[in-house]
Structure 1
Amino acid sequence: MTLEDLVRLRRARDTMDRDYAKPLDVPALARVAVMSPGHFSRSFRAAFGETPYSYLMTRRIERAKALLRRGDLSVTEVCFAVGCTSLGSFSSRFTELVGESPSSYRARRHDEGAAIPACVAKIFTRPVRNGEAKPADRPVS
């Protein structure tokens, strides 16, 4: 993979980070990276260790966790606010990544992390897939 490819992949990843609530799909992201959809998907996975869809859903679930901690939106409102179009798929993915349903996450107290700076909290609250290293095991970069 060339340095130019990495720059273009990073541009697509930045688009997902910024526009996670918009309807994004592989063809649209491939256009941002100036690659064919197939080449983009393979290259993204090789560069970042996960598929574009998986990365995007992790961003959406991270944002959903923040909105649910506030407690002023329903789970359905949060689902649509982060760009998901199916409450069932959102709930399933949230439960898979977080280990509890969005409703139970929203219902429990979140005071213990209130004093932690957001930049540190983000590292430890990032959803972790099965088989991934836990935050304490991840190398700091």
Structure 2
Amino acid sequence: MTTVPDDLLVGLRRARDRIDRHYAEPLDLDALAATAGLSKYHFLRCFARTYGRTPHAFLTERRVERAQDLLRATNLTVTEVCWLVGYSGLGSFSTRFRRLVGCSPSEYQARWELSGPPRIPGCFVMMHGLSDRATQRSRSTDADRAIPEKARDVGAPGESSA
């Protein structure tokens, strides 16, 4: 098995971080490849070689992990969790969840209903920004307010000054 050159790892990490942060949004291979600065198919091969799974499999795992957190800790319905983690259909969500976890989302939620700490009401999750979508929006809005207008246009997206 060949290894990925070190100069490509930075772009691959950037794409992986984008999946981690924006898993609830629609992400396609072209956008992720652009984030990494690679062609679509070269990105796919390098990502799979580096992380042991395709970008789609990595995204699916991330979404199901977050769904598990929400099903354990909140009283949201399975359908609400499905939408919050980025799926547009309950069938595909349930199928992928069952394949990765070994049980359906409803069975998983029922297992945690009576045990563990009190569950967070779904209205609090939606209203107070405890879901990743709301938190992401409020963070970017707060960050935009903190940065002076002239400083916003200085660097390209994703560049760090360090």
Give the structure with higher Rg (CA): 2
Tell me which residue corresponds to 2:40: 37
Give unpaired runs (5+ residues) of structure 2: 118-162
Contact 1:71 1:106 survives alignment (8 Å): no
Give unpaired runs (5+ residues) of structure 1: 115-141
Tell me which residue corresponds to 2:64: 61
Following TM superposition, by how much is the alpha carbon of 1:54 offset from its aligned partner in structure 2, in angstroms?
0.1
1:11 aligns with 2:5: no
What letter is aligned with 2:90?
Answer: L
Shift >3 Å, 4+ stretches? none
State the superposition RMSD in angstroms: 1.3
CA distance in 2, matches of 1:109, 1:64: 13
Using the size of structure 2 for normalisation, the TM-score is 0.67
Following TM superposition, by how much is the alpha carbon of 1:72 offset from its aligned partner in structure 2, in angstroms?
1.5
Tell me which residue corresponds to 1:75: 78
How many matched pairs?
A: 113
1:105 aligns with 2:108: yes
Identity rate of aligned residues, in percent?
Answer: 53
Following TM superposition, by how much is the alpha carbon of 1:109 offset from its aligned partner in structure 2, in angstroms?
2.5
What letter is aligned with 1:37?
Answer: K
Following TM superposition, by how much is the alpha carbon of 1:79 offset from its aligned partner in structure 2, in angstroms?
0.6
1:108 is paired with a residue whose SS is helix
1:46 aligns with 2:46: no
What letter is aligned with 2:32?
Answer: L
